Structure 1
Amino acid sequence: MMNASSNRELSILSFWHTLEFFTPFDVKQKIETAQEEGGYRSFSIDELQELSKEKSIFEHIQGIPSDKEYLGATIYLNLFSNSKISKTIQDILQEELTEEEKYAQEIMDTDDGITCYASLEVDQNNALDIQKIQLSTLPWALGLSSKEGFSALNSERFKQDCQLLKERLSSINQWYRDTSVLEDNESVDENELSPAVLLEIIDSLNQWSYAYNANDFSYPIIGICLRWKKKSAHQEKSKDKNALKAYRKDGGDSQEEDDSILDEIGILNSFYAQDIHRIISKIGQGYANEALSSYLKMKPNKVCKDLYSEQGDELIWQVLRPKYWNRGRWLSEPAHGLSLMQQFAVNVFFKEREQAVFSVNGPPGTGKTTLLRDIFAENIVQRAMKLAELSTPEEALVKNLSNGIYTLKPELTGFEMVVASSNNAAVENISRDLPKQQSLGKMYQEGSYTYLQTVARNLVTQQSQKNIMPSSGEDVWGLFSCALGKKANRNKVVSGLYFRSKNIHKDEESFYDSLRTWRDNYHGVSFIQAKKAFHKQLELVEQRLSLLDDCFDLHERVVLKNNIKQLQQQYDEYKENLQYIEKEIGIAQEQLNQATQIEIATIQIDDRFATTILNAENHIQRYQAFLEDCDVQKKHWEHKIKSEECKKPGFFAKLFRTQDYKAYQQSLGEYHHQLAQLYQKESECKVSLQRYKQELQSAQHGQQQEKERLYKQAVNTAKSYLNAYKQQYSDCEQNLDRVTKDLEQAEEERQEYKSLLSQFPELKLPASYDELRQNDFQISGLWKDERLNHERSSLFGCALQLHEAWLAEVSKKNGKFAGNLAKLSGFLQGSAKLTNEQILSLWQSLFMIVPVVSSTFASFANQFQGLDAGSLGYLFIDEAGQAVPQAAVGAIWRAKRVMVVGDPIQIEPVFTAPIPLVRHLEKIARFTEDVTASPLDVSVQVLADKCNDYGANITQEGEAKWIGSPLRVHRRCLEPMFKIANKIAYEEKMILSETDPSKQWPDKKDDFHLGDSAWVQVEGQTVSRQFVPEQAEVVINMLINIVNVTGKLPELYIITPFKQIKHKLIEQVLASVDLKGVKGLCQWCNTRIGTVHTFQGKEEKMVWFVLGCDKTTEGAAQWAASKPNLLNVALTRAKRYVFLIGDQKIWSNKPYFKDAAKELPQISIDEFLLRLNPLTEKLSEERHLAVRSL
Structure 2
Amino acid sequence: MSHLNDSRARVMEFWRACELFSPPSLPRVDPRDEREPVFRVQAGALLPWEAGHPLQRRRIRPNMTWRYIVYGGVFQLERVRLLLEKVFGPDPENFDRAPQGASALFAMLVTEEGRPLLGAWEFSSAAWAAGRTVSPGHRDPAWLRGFDVAAGRVGAAGEELVAALEHDTRAAELRDEGVCVGRPLRQDDLRALMKLTADRFGVEEVLAPDGLLVKCVQVSRRREHDDDGSTDFLNSFIVQDLERVASAVRAGAYGAALDTYLRIPEPSRVDVRKEPQVVLDHVAPEQVPAGRWPQGPGLPLALSQQFAVNTIMSELAPRAGLFAVNGPPGTGKTTMLRDLIAANVVERALRLSRLPSTEAAFRGEMRWQTGDFRRVVSLWREELTGFEMVVTSANNGAVENVTTEIPGEKAIDALWRGEAAYFDDVASRVLGEPAWGLVAAKLGRKSYRMEFVSKAWYGTADEPGLRMSFETWQDTTTEPWATAVESFTLAYERVQALRSERATAHDALRDMPVQQRIITRATAQITAAEDRLTTLRTEFDDAKRLEGTAREEITARKRSRQEHQQFQPSLVTALFTLGKASREWHAQDRALAGDVQSAEHALGTATARLERLRQAAAQISHERDSRRAELHNARSRLAEIQSRLAVQQERLGRFFPDERWWTDEKHRESQTLWTDEAWNHARTDLFVEALRLHQAFLRAEARRMRRSLQAAMDVVTGDVPAGVPEEAVRAAWQSLFFLVPVVSTTFASFDRVFAHLTREALGWLFIDEAGQAAPQLAAGAIWRSRRVVAVGDPLQLEPVVTLPFAAQQALRRTFGVQEEHWLPGRTSVQQLADHTNAYGTYLPGEDAPVWVGAPLRVHRRCDEPMFGISNTIAYDGLMVYGKITEAPVELPESVWIDVVGAGSSGHWIPEEGAALERILTRLARDKVAPEDIFVISPFRDVVRGMQQVARRFPGVEAGTVHTAQGKEAKVVVLVLGGDPQRPGAKAWAAMRPNLLNVAVSRAKRRLYVIGDRASWSTQRYFNVLARDLPKLVLPPESPTYSDR
TM-score normalised to the size of structure 2? Answer: 0.89
Mapped contact 1:1013–1:1139 kept (Cα < 8 A): yes
What is the CA distance between 1:605 and its match in structure 2? 14
Mapped contact 2:874–2:994 kept (Cα < 8 A): yes
Number of residue equivalences: 1008
d(CA) in 1 for partners of 2:349, 2:283 = 24
Mapped contact 1:272–1:858 kept (Cα < 8 A): yes
Say whether 1:992 aligns with 2:881: yes
Distance 1:1040 1:453, change over 3 A: closer
- Match of residue 1028 from structure 2: 1159
- Match of residue 141 from structure 1: 129
- Match of residue 673 from structure 1: none
- Match of residue 557 from structure 1: 511
Write the mapping of 1:903-1052 to structure 2, written as runs, cut at 5 A: 903-929=793-819, 931-994=820-883, 996=885, 999=887, 1001-1002=888-889, 1009-1043=890-924, 1046=927, 1049=930, 1051-1052=932-933
Say whether 1:226 aligns with 2:219: no
Mapped contact 2:133–2:143 kept (Cα < 8 A): no
Say whether 1:272 aligns with 2:272: no
- Match of residue 31 from structure 1: 29
1:61 corresponds to which of 53, 75, 79: 53
- Match of residue 701 from structure 2: 810
* 912-921 vs 802-811, greater mean Cα deviation: 912-921
d(CA) in 2 for partners of 1:698, 1:477 = 114
Residue-by-residue CA offset, 1:1167-1188 (whole Å, 9 max, x unaligned): 99655679xxxxxxxxxxxxxx
Say whether 1:384 aligns with 2:372: no
What is the CA distance between 1:1140 and its match in structure 2? 1.1
User: Which secondary structure state, in structure 1, belongs to the residue aligned with residue 982 of structure 2?
Assistant: helix
Say whether 1:770 aligns with 2:729: no
d(CA) in 1 for partners of 2:402, 2:128 = 38
TM-score normalised to the size of structure 1? Answer: 0.79
d(CA) in 2 for partners of 1:950, 1:716 = 61
Say whether 1:514 aligns with 2:460: no
Mapped contact 2:19–2:236 kept (Cα < 8 A): yes
User: AA paired with 1:971?
Assistant: R
Residue-by-residue CA offset, 1:599-648 (whole Å, 9 max, x unaligned): 65748999xxxxxx9xxx9xxxxxx9xxx9x999xxxxxxxxxxxxxxxx
Write the mapping of 1:165-244 to structure 2, written as runs, cut at 5 A: 165-174=154-163, 176-178=164-166, 190-216=182-208, 220-227=210-217
Residue-by-residue CA offset, 1:307-338 (whole Å, 9 max, x unaligned): 122xx211111111111110010111100000
What is the CA distance between 1:760 and its match in structure 2? 3.3
d(CA) in 2 for partners of 1:1047, 1:767 = 45
1:88 corresponds to which of 60, 65, 83: 83
Say whether 1:313 aligns with 2:313: no
- Match of residue 286 from structure 1: 252
What is the CA distance between 1:411 and its match in structure 2? 1.3
Distance 1:490 1:23, change over 3 A: same
d(CA) in 2 for partners of 1:1046, 1:740 = 71
User: AA paired with 1:24?
Assistant: P
What is the CA distance between 1:1050 and its match in structure 2? 6.5
User: Which secondary structure state, in structure 2, belongs to the residue aligned with residue 707 of structure 1?
Assistant: helix
2:670 corresponds to which of 760, 779, 785: 779
- Match of residue 435 from structure 2: 476
User: AA paired with 1:342?
Assistant: Q
d(CA) in 2 for partners of 1:757, 1:1036 = 56
Residue-by-residue CA offset, 1:456-513 (whole Å, 9 max, x unaligned): 23323xxx3xxxxxxxxx42111101100110010011011223346x5xxxx6xx64
Distance 1:547 1:200, change over 3 A: same
Residue-by-residue CA offset, 1:246-304 (whole Å, 9 max, x unaligned): xxxxxxxxxxx99887999946220110001011122233312221111011444x411
Distance 1:178 1:207, change over 3 A: farther
Say whether 1:78 aligns with 2:73: yes
* 490-499 vs 1123-1132, greater mean Cα deviation: 490-499
- Match of residue 232 from structure 1: none
User: AA paired with 1:71?
Assistant: W
Write the mapping of 1:563-962 to structure 2, written as runs, cut at 5 A: 563=515, 565-566=516-517, 569=520, 587=538, 590-591=541-542, 593-598=544-549, 600=551, 602=553, 699-767=591-659, 770-771=662-663, 774-811=665-702, 815-833=703-721, 834-929=724-819, 931-962=820-851
- Match of residue 286 from structure 2: 323
d(CA) in 2 for partners of 1:1148, 1:1022 = 19
What is the CA distance between 1:428 and its match in structure 2? 1.1
What is the CA distance between 1:784 and its match in structure 2? 3.3
What is the CA distance between 1:693 and its match in structure 2? 8.0
d(CA) in 2 for partners of 1:975, 1:263 = 50
d(CA) in 2 for partners of 1:337, 1:259 = 54
Distance 1:884 1:691, change over 3 A: farther
Mapped contact 2:305–2:336 kept (Cα < 8 A): yes
- Match of residue 14 from structure 2: 15
d(CA) in 1 for partners of 2:923, 2:801 = 38
- Match of residue 959 from structure 2: 1090
User: Which secondary structure state, in structure 2, belongs to the residue aligned with residue 959 of structure 1?
Assistant: coil
What is the CA distance between 1:391 and its match in structure 2? 2.3
What is the CA distance between 1:1166 and its match in structure 2? 2.5
User: Which secondary structure state, in structure 1, belongs to the residue aligned with residue 54 of structure 2?
Assistant: coil
Residue-by-residue CA offset, 1:720-764 (whole Å, 9 max, x unaligned): 223322332232123212322332233233333334445434532
Gaps of 5+ in 1: 230-236, 242-256, 465-473, 607-612, 618-623, 633-681, 1003-1008, 1175-1190
- Match of residue 544 from structure 1: 498
Mapped contact 2:919–2:1040 kept (Cα < 8 A): no
Distance 1:523 1:492, change over 3 A: farther
- Match of residue 442 from structure 1: 414
User: Which secondary structure state, in structure 1, belongs to the residue aligned with residue 904 of structure 2?
Assistant: coil
User: Which secondary structure state, in structure 1, belongs to the residue aligned with residue 119 of structure 2?
Assistant: helix
d(CA) in 2 for partners of 1:260, 1:475 = 36
d(CA) in 2 for partners of 1:1160, 1:847 = 49
Mapped contact 2:471–2:706 kept (Cα < 8 A): no
* 317-326 vs 153-162, greater mean Cα deviation: 153-162
Mapped contact 1:144–1:153 kept (Cα < 8 A): no
What is the CA distance between 1:1109 and its match in structure 2? 2.0
Distance 1:124 1:459, change over 3 A: farther
* 972-981 vs 594-603, greater mean Cα deviation: 594-603
Mapped contact 1:57–1:193 kept (Cα < 8 A): no
Mapped contact 1:541–1:792 kept (Cα < 8 A): yes
1:370 corresponds to which of 314, 321, 335: 335
User: Which secondary structure state, in structure 1, belongs to the residue aligned with residue 336 of structure 2?
Assistant: helix
Distance 1:924 1:315, change over 3 A: same
Distance 1:204 1:399, change over 3 A: farther
RMSD: 3.6
Write the mapping of 1:296-311 to structure 2, written as runs, cut at 5 A: 296-300=262-266, 302-309=267-274
Distance 1:712 1:539, change over 3 A: same
User: Which secondary structure state, in structure 2, belongs to the residue aligned with residue 297 of structure 1?
Assistant: coil
User: Which secondary structure state, in structure 1, belongs to the residue aligned with residue 262 of structure 2?
Assistant: helix
Distance 1:1050 1:579, change over 3 A: closer
What is the CA distance between 1:21 and its match in structure 2? 0.7
Mapped contact 2:394–2:746 kept (Cα < 8 A): yes
User: AA paired with 2:741?
Assistant: P
What is the CA distance between 1:846 and its match in structure 2? 0.6
d(CA) in 2 for partners of 1:570, 1:306 = 30
Mapped contact 1:1020–1:1110 kept (Cα < 8 A): no
Mapped contact 2:331–2:858 kept (Cα < 8 A): yes
1:41 corresponds to which of 39, 50, 58: 39
What is the CA distance between 1:851 and its match in structure 2? 0.5
User: AA paired with 1:429?
Assistant: N
Mapped contact 1:25–1:116 kept (Cα < 8 A): no
User: AA paired with 2:148?
Assistant: K
User: AA paired with 2:313?
Assistant: F
